[in-house]
Structure 1
Amino acid sequence: MGLNHSEETHQRLVQKVPECTGREMTEWFRLMNDGPSFLRFDERVRWLLTEYALAHGHATAIVHEYDLVRAHRRMG
């Protein structure tokens, strides 16, 4: 699967995640770290959708942002 929207749309979704989900991105990242170790993007999105009843756009934005942060940490 993967990210199917523009970077601008992604950033807008990321900004709205706390308001729409009641959790900050850092909390979502913690849940992702502690959750099942799915390798595929779509498996992680599906897990958020079913486990936390998120909208697809928010789940996709969380997983994509999580991947970006983790990649940045590895490079830094």
Structure 2
Amino acid sequence: MRKTEYIHTHALLAEVTRRLVENGTMSVETLSTYDALETRPSSIHKSKQNHREAILMLGRAIESCLREARTDSHEQSVNR
């Protein structure tokens, strides 16, 4: 991928993450490792590798959050 494609993907995942935090599905604490990178989609001066790492971290956080939400909803339906 080109750097611009990494930045675009990073921006999309950051938006998904922002919405998950806003609706209470994901806690802000989940993003501590991402925040430590100090690479945002707007950080166009950062390297392609920096954006790749940010994408991987956001992807893992989103996956974990959705997996927990799925497990919680499954447990609720079983307990009914």
Shorter-chain-normalised TM-score: which range? 0.3 to 0.5
TM-score (normalizing by structure 1): 0.35
TM-score (normalizing by structure 2): 0.34
